[in-house]
Amino acid sequence: MKNTVYKDCRLTMKENENHKTIIKIGEINIGEDFLMIAGPCSVEEEDIMFRISEELVKNGVRFLRAGAYKPRTSPYSFQGLGEKGIAILEKIKNKTGLKIVTEVLDEYSFDKVDQVADILQIGSRNMANFSLLKRVGKQKKPVLLKRGMSATLSEYLMAAEYIMNEGNPNVILCERGIRTFDNHCRNTLDIAAVPSLKKLTHLPVIVDPSHAAGERDLVIPLSKAAIAIGADGLIIETHLIPAESWSDADQAISVSQLGEILDFIHAQSLNKPFKKIKKIA
Amino acid sequence: MKNTVYKDCRLTMKENENHKTIIKIGEINIGEDFLMIAGPCSVEEEDIMFRISEELVKNGVRFLRAGAYKPRTSPYSFQGLGEKGIAILEKIKNKTGLKIVTEVLDEYSFDKVDQVADILQIGSRNMANFSLLKRVGKQKKPVLLKRGMSATLSEYLMAAEYIMNEGNPNVILCERGIRTFDNHCRNTLDIAAVPSLKKLTHLPVIVDPSHAAGERDLVIPLSKAAIAIGADGLIIETHLIPAESWSDADQAISVSQLGEILDFIHAQSLNKPFKKIKKIA
Amino acid sequence: MKNTVYKDCRLTMKENENHKTIIKIGEINIGEDFLMIAGPCSVEEEDIMFRISEELVKNGVRFLRAGAYKPRTSPYSFQGLGEKGIAILEKIKNKTGLKIVTEVLDEYSFDKVDQVADILQIGSRNMANFSLLKRVGKQKKPVLLKRGMSATLSEYLMAAEYIMNEGNPNVILCERGIRTFDNHCRNTLDIAAVPSLKKLTHLPVIVDPSHAAGERDLVIPLSKAAIAIGADGLIIETHLIPAESWSDADQAISVSQLGEILDFIHAQSLNKPFKKIKKIA
Amino acid sequence: MKNTVYKDCRLTMKENENHKTIIKIGEINIGEDFLMIAGPCSVEEEDIMFRISEELVKNGVRFLRAGAYKPRTSPYSFQGLGEKGIAILEKIKNKTGLKIVTEVLDEYSFDKVDQVADILQIGSRNMANFSLLKRVGKQKKPVLLKRGMSATLSEYLMAAEYIMNEGNPNVILCERGIRTFDNHCRNTLDIAAVPSLKKLTHLPVIVDPSHAAGERDLVIPLSKAAIAIGADGLIIETHLIPAESWSDADQAISVSQLGEILDFIHAQSLNKPFKKIKKIA
């Protein structure tokens, strides 16, 4: 890793070994406490959303992921429930206290998403959508910025610079798999990106094992690897009946599978303060 | 190439061997006549822009490329002249008759760019910016859609479907190099994408050798390969004094180097109607 | 993962969930006990080799890696001590009881390497050297077969089939990083290959974090990820004074850094029988 | 392209702009005359081999490719006719005067292959089989060295250094496609490698469009691109009845399709002396 590659990184670079950004949401200090985000790919009907949410709460999860506006490869695929989805997320937020992590796609839907989101997610395809980066940089909510599918770490950090340079220091990075020749997974999880990024930047770094895996069976092992390597959190597609998910059904896991990951986090607890994720007895 | 991959492509697929979209701009029939687009990476000062444009006209080139709004990896790099650049392009368009090909980055600058562009360019980074694709699909000007750096052909064609599905059938595809392990070029020109695309789709397919090459010396040979393989056109970064280009200086070629490419096009003329590019005696 | 891709895999495929190959060497049952292999990239002078070996033994490591014949990108680089290296390995083996893991490059040096090796290593560059695969298939010592730098899992398993089809069932697989666009590491560790392979095959699967990392600082985190994801072992470049290694100096770790990895293995001991690696009180 | 990458290249680098290695075989000066090599993937039955060879001779082709020993991904696939194939190649060589280009896989079959080959081919999988490179470096026949599937240009040139450093200066380089995320072809033809290599080295550089394409329809366009970009030759899988080829049937072309490529070469003849390929009236 030649440092010259990162010479334009002004705001993202660590100043010293202990320099880290802590982002406080509710009682969770992201960057310090383990950040567990779970939920379905898309917002689905209110009833199933409530049942998933209740299960998450029972397991100590405090952040719900679900997309109301979905970026889909095909214009003919389901594009998300839109405003109706936002309304469902609002109800859940109010009743369960779950914090909402949801994707913002563009200027058109910005205000709708902003109305409910606690963390604004920028997806992989938009990592270099500089207008959108500047837009989320002009407000104060934390931004979960996914790595682009073929972005180098320096390009990725420059995307974070776009956000921070507008005045928003609260960026959470997320490794989610890169595009390689390899075809046994949907994308190749670049697990080494976690320690490489943490060596360079003070920003929190989490992992999305679901989009890398592309299949359910790999999500638990990839999650364990991410926890062991020192990721600051995970974002996992989770459903009550995974095979019936409206989108990304192949890679969603069940709440009980999520439990196995939570147990692994607890088992590592000597190394990291996971206290905020606890089972309700 | 398994056809199932392309099963969602409704509007882009060829119906028969001879099915092709012809896009008429001035006296050029894109898809039939060779489309040569040349000019600097960014719009620069009015004086140099006029001198470049005059040289292009003298050589029979009818399309000028130059960005007023530039997507740059770093927020600290030059971001284009913006409105001032648009004004310069308008003057050139009015005085020289050159058609303008320029990039549209987002909703904010859409109207400005639209005011002067004859062809709206969508850059590689925005190939999967679906909101932007729908936006350019809602108007009628031809769209030059560059392939994303790690897009498969089916993802690329689905991006074209986003535009066409909104009502704009005038999409020009452009292979510009993909991201691979290889480092002797800026990107690996996937030259085989040209015949692969032309076998699948009725849309015109052109090549950008400049962004693949990343260095001047490779632009001429890559251009010749593109012409020989049957590309419908080229878009080439060209400058009067290439090394002084405001951006992408390493890969810009001179007008006299462009002449070598034009000569090669003329020499192949038995196979393809290049008559619209002619030297002014 | 479409099963048709693996249709030619006759000997490597799991017959049922519990099917696994156990390879017994001394008191270690590879595939069941954690296989820790450590040592320098190349065999170096006798004195330093003995000192490294003693430290490994003290820490409970039972397998020494070190190459006497080295495949080097440049013909002008150090190519290994050759026969002199073999003689040093023999002395160490006799005095310390360490088992020897060393690379076999070709027919010419086969007998020399065979004289001392307990496990014959086939390097990444030779994964598709089918003559060499058949050669090691015709004898009975276990073979550590590294994945090729751009091999898919089906190609990798077919390489194992070449060995097994000659009569040697004792193949150990090893993920060591693949070649991608990414440049923050020497190679991209495809950590998901571990569970993907273990789902398909009954063969043991270990990880080489050193060649993936290319730099010392990443070896510990990558090792932890490999352990957590369920690898059957690790092969790690380790030296007394890493920066003075004769080859791969950037990625070698110290014996005390190795200790941190061993501690992590012990800490996970509820899940896997690591009893054979123990600290000498 | 940073020159430091090539600092270990002692024998392959150009000393000046006009430095080029010319390899004389019969009346062809490789590096000056266009080198056209055609024929089936594997040596097949004598009768069909003679019929293919006669067609090649009629079209002015002077080099026959065909493998007697085949490196196959699966040990259960056809591995070539071996000695019987060598005997067939010898008869053809004696009766038709065609020069033979055939692959040498290992030490075991070296003498057999050497008996008939005019050019020894090293396949992609063996590009970094350094023992084999040294072996062909110790004799004087020209070596056709294919680029490894994931080799950078510096690694590729270092492989040529291995051969040349043993005393054989007659190395012919061959771009044949690299492994990338892209799946519309078997491999991504890195067409820019031709001018990049020719800028660096004095060695001839040819192209194998067949293995890049993986399908018949792309072979002609890729060949034209290779010719236009300045390749010193082509090696093309050609058969009388392509679909009945014993191996690589999908990518073989017919002799009449080869004719279209030969015509294109003739049409470019002002730029390059193709006189040695001529149609027999």
Contact in structure between A58 and A277 (CB atoms under 8 Å): no
Cα angle, residue A199 at apex, residues A197 and A203 outer, rounded to 5°: 55
Quick one: pLDDT at residue C267?
84
A192 CB near a chain C CB, below 8 Å?
yes
pLDDT greater than 60 at residue B277: no
Q: What is the DSSP string of D173-229?
A: EEE--B--S--SSSSB-BTTHHHHHHHHBSS-EEE-HHHHH-SGGGHHHHHHHHHHH
Residue B280 backbone phi and psi in degrees, to 5: -85, 115
Percent share of chain C, pLDDT over 90: 90
Identify the H or E element spanning A197: helix A193-200
Burial class (CB in 10 A: 0-12, 13-18, 19+), D19: exposed
C190 CB near a chain A CB, below 8 Å?
yes
Quick one: pLDDT at residue B88?
98
Mean pLDDT of chain B: 93
Residues of C whose CB is below 8 A from A189: 190-192
Best of C74, C138, C158, C180 to mutate (most D CBs within 10 Å, chain D)? C74
Both tokens of residue C236? 């790690």
Which chains have 3 or more CB–CB distances shorter than 8 Å to chain D? A, B, C
Could you say which of 3.20.20.70, 3.20.80.10, 3.40.50.300, 3.40.50.720 is the CATH number of the domain covering C21-71+78-267? 3.20.20.70
D263 CB near a chain B CB, below 8 Å?
no
Spatial CB neighbours of D111, under 8 Å, sequence gap ≥ 6: none
| Three-class SS state of B29 | strand
Contact C222 A195 (CB under 8 A): yes
pLDDT greater than 80 at residue B272: no
| Three-class SS state of D258 | helix
Give mean pLDDT, residues D50-77.
96
Cα angle, residue A181 at apex, residues A176 and A184 outer, rounded to 5°: 65
Mean pLDDT of chain D: 93
> pLDDT tens, C35-74?
999 999 999 999 999 999 999 999 999 999 999 999 999 9
Nearest chain B residue (CA) to D153 = B184
Residue C269 backbone phi and psi in degrees, to 5: -65, -15
| Three-class SS state of A28 | strand
Residues of chain A with pLDDT under 50: 1-2, 270-276, 278-281
Spatial CB neighbours of C137, under 8 Å, sequence gap ≥ 6: C143, C162, C163, C164, C165, C166, C167, C168
Contact C158 D74 (CB under 8 A): yes
Q: How far apart are the first and last CA of chain D?
A: 47
C-D CB pairs within 8 A amount to: 74
Contact in structure between B223 and B209 (CB atoms under 8 Å): yes
**In 10 A of CB B140, how many CB atoms?**
11
Best of D77, D109, D125, D161 to mutate (most C CBs within 10 Å, chain C)? D125
Residues of D whose CB is below 8 A from A181: 150, 179-181
Quick one: pLDDT at residue B268?
82
Which of left, alpha, beta for B21 (phi over 0: left; psi -120 to 50: alpha)?
beta
Quick one: pLDDT at residue D266?
86
CA nearest neighbour of D212 among C152, C125, B192: B192
Contact C229 A224 (CB under 8 A): yes
Contact B129 A129 (CB under 8 A): yes
Cα angle, residue B167 at apex, residues B163 and B168 outer, rounded to 5°: 60
Quick one: pLDDT at residue C279?
42
Contact in structure between D179 and D147 (CB atoms under 8 Å): no
Quick one: pLDDT at residue C64?
98
Q: How far is C98 from chain A (nearest CA, A)?
A: 29
Best of A182, A199, A253 to mutate (most C CBs within 10 Å, chain C)? A182
pLDDT band for B269, please (50, 70, 90 cuts). Answer: low
Of B192, B227, B230, the CB nearest to D212: B192
D180 CB near a chain B CB, below 8 Å?
yes
Of D153, D192, D224, the CB nearest to B189: D192
CA nearest neighbour of B112 among B134, B138, B81, B143: B81
Contact A192 C217 (CB under 8 A): no
Contact D192 B193 (CB under 8 A): no
Amino acid present at B130: F
Cα angle, residue B86 at apex, residues B82 and B90 outer, rounded to 5°: 170
ipTM beyond cut 0.90: yes
Burial class (CB in 10 A: 0-12, 13-18, 19+), A181: buried
Which of left, alpha, beta for C126 (phi over 0: left; psi -120 to 50: alpha)?
alpha
**In 10 A of CB C108, how many CB atoms?**
12
Q: How far is A178 from chain B (nearest CA, A)?
A: 10
A185 CB near a chain C CB, below 8 Å?
yes
pLDDT greater than 90 at residue D268: no
B72 CB near a chain A CB, below 8 Å?
yes
Could you say which of 3.20.20.70, 3.40.630.30, 1.20.58.480, 3.40.50.800 is the CATH number of the domain covering A22-267? 3.20.20.70
Contact A179 D181 (CB under 8 A): yes
CA nearest neighbour of C200 among C236, C182, C173: C173
Q: How far is B183 from chain C (nearest CA, A)?
A: 9
pLDDT greater than 70 at residue D278: no
CA nearest neighbour of B134 among B112, B173, B156, B107: B107
A-B CB pairs within 8 A amount to: 74
Cα angle, residue B233 at apex, residues B228 and B234 outer, rounded to 5°: 95
Quick one: pLDDT at residue A277?
53
Q: How far apart are CA C227 and CA C224, in angstroms?
A: 5
A225 CB near a chain C CB, below 8 Å?
yes
Contact A8 B74 (CB under 8 A): yes
| Three-class SS state of A211 | helix
Integer-rounded Cα Rg, in Å, for chain B is 17
Look up tokens 């038995």; give the residue. Answer: B270
Burial class (CB in 10 A: 0-12, 13-18, 19+), B137: buried
Global pTM value: 0.96
Best of D149, D150, D181 to mutate (most A CBs within 10 Å, chain A)? D181
Quick one: pLDDT at residue A269?
65
- CA dihedral sign of residues A40, A46, A48, A50: positive
B108 CB near a chain A CB, below 8 Å?
yes
Residues of chain C with pLDDT under 50: 1-2, 270-276, 278-281
Contact in structure between D69 and D43 (CB atoms under 8 Å): no
What is the SS3 assignment for C60-112?
A: CCCEEECECCCCCCCCCCCCCCCHHHHHHHHHHHHHHCCEEEEECCCHHHHHH
B181 CB near a chain C CB, below 8 Å?
yes
Contact in structure between D200 and D12 (CB atoms under 8 Å): yes
Residues of C whose CB is below 8 A from D163: none
Best of B11, B72, B110, B130 to mutate (most A CBs within 10 Å, chain A)? B130
Nearest chain C residue (CA) to B187 = C181
C179 CB near a chain B CB, below 8 Å?
yes
Looking at the structure, give the CATH architecture of the domain made up of residues B3-267: Alpha-Beta Barrel (3.20)
Q: How far apart are the first and last CA of chain C?
A: 47
| Three-class SS state of A206 | strand
Q: How far is C183 from chain B (nearest CA, A)?
A: 9
A108 CB near a chain B CB, below 8 Å?
yes
Look up tokens 């080959």; give the residue. Answer: D117
Residues of A whose CB is below 8 A from C228: 224-225, 227-229, 264
> pLDDT tens, B192-250?
999 999 999 999 999 999 999 999 999 999 999 999 999 999 999 999 999 999 998 99
Both tokens of residue D151? 């080799």
> pLDDT tens, B52-76?
999 999 999 999 999 999 999 999 9
Report the DSSP beta bridge partners of residue A239. A254
D73 CB near a chain C CB, below 8 Å?
yes
Which chains have 3 or more CB–CB distances shorter than 8 Å to chain B? A, C, D
CA nearest neighbour of C73 among C108, C133, C125: C125
Of A77, A130, A149, the CB nearest to B71: A130
Nearest chain C residue (CA) to A1 = C184
Contact D178 B180 (CB under 8 A): yes
Give the class (CATH, top level) of D20-267.
Answer: alpha beta
Q: How far is C175 from chain B (nearest CA, A)?
A: 18
